[in-house]
Amino acid sequence: MNNKKDKIDIRSLSLEALQQQFISMDEKGFRAKQVYEWLWEKSCISFDAMSNISKELRTKLDEKFVINDVKIHTSQVSADKTIKNSFILHDTHLIEGVLIPTTDRMTACVSSQVGCSLTCKFCATGYMERKRNLNPDEIYDQVVLIDKQARENYGIPLSNIVYMGMGEPLLNYANVMKSIERITSEDGLNMSPKRITVSTAGIAKMICKLGDDQVKFNLALSLHAANDEKRNAIMPINEQNSLKALADALKYYYAKTKNAVTYEYIIFDGVNDNILDAMELARFCKHLPCKVNIIEYNPISMAAFVNAGEDKVEAFADYLRGQGINTNLRRSRGKDIDAACGQLAINENEKEVAKA
């Protein structure tokens, strides 16, 4: 089994499955637990580095298994100290992830798919083809690498994770859930689920599943219009997941989890920026406890949207606050290196370099 393709991806195995593999290799089951700890608690990506495992067993592991670790391909640092990374996967696909440092937190923005299938008109990733879902270990590795970056560059460990990078997390549901389990469990990175936010463009059926699974992490909905006609025009996913379907799913989710929801709303000039739009959003907010994050539009070459002016944004936010809705204005980070919300994409030149 010397061909890498013939080897078993060791991080695809549960502890129980790994123990069975060890028994079939005439090895003690408890050795599997040691290896599992190396993989998930210590984030080890080399069998040779597993120092409490015999050399003979390490050789056996190397012959039978592979660790398909993610590597940093390129990094760019923004004027505001945001760091954007392109990561190369074992099959040469590229994805992007971002370290966002602020005064009170270090946030990793991670991807869940190679590309995206949702074609949101304001998002650079939406103009890419979806190649495949990321595996749980590929999401986990992004967190480990960005945490290392935070410690090395700013002397502070990661405090938060947002699944707001490339792809739609709820269309990679099982792998996203498994990655969060590895990140939050005691025999993983032991991070609090309350420091994790999963952002969705709005898949009603899967929002209900989050409720059934009684998740402990935070949920954000990328909303951007509380009017079906307007939302259909900028987010085609709304045609199959109408605002009523989303409201029903969110109410179900809240009934099951008691978790408030965050609505993300970009105010585009002349699209969704008037007080009638704010009134529609306020009505949508009445369905369950929530807050609204008004975020800047970050220009992309494929679309002609423009940010609404400051006066319109302030009037919009003031109206929501007047309706008793917790409303925050979020400033973009890393815009100068295309690292901000909606700007993540892999260009053709990068793909060719990665394959070389």
Q: Which residues are catalytic?
A: 96, 341
The answer to whether residues 52 and 46 touch, using CB atoms and an 8 Å cutoff, is no
Task: Please check whether residue 161 is in contact with residue 197, taking contact to mean a CB–CB distance below 8 angstroms.
Answer: yes
Q: Is the separation of the CB atoms in 96 and 87 below 8 Å? A: yes
Angle, to 10 degrees, between the axis of helix 173-184 and the axis of helix 136-154? 50
Written as six digits, the tokens of 312 are 């319109």
Residue 145, φ and ψ in degrees, nearest 5: -70, -40
Distance in angstroms (rounded) separating the CA atoms of residues 240 and 236 = 8
Q: What does the alpha-carbon distance between residue 273 and residue 289 come to, in Å, rounded to a whole number?
A: 23
- Alpha-carbon distance 318 to 325, whole Å? 10
Determine the Cα–Cα distance for residues 30 and 50; give it in Å rounded to an integer: 15
> Over the Cα atoms of the chain, what is R_g?
22
Tokens for 29, please give them.
């089951």
| CB-based contact 107:160 (threshold 8 Å) | yes
Find the DSSP H helices in the chain.
15-24, 29-40, 55-64, 136-154, 173-184, 204-212, 228-234, 243-257, 275-285, 310-322, 348-355
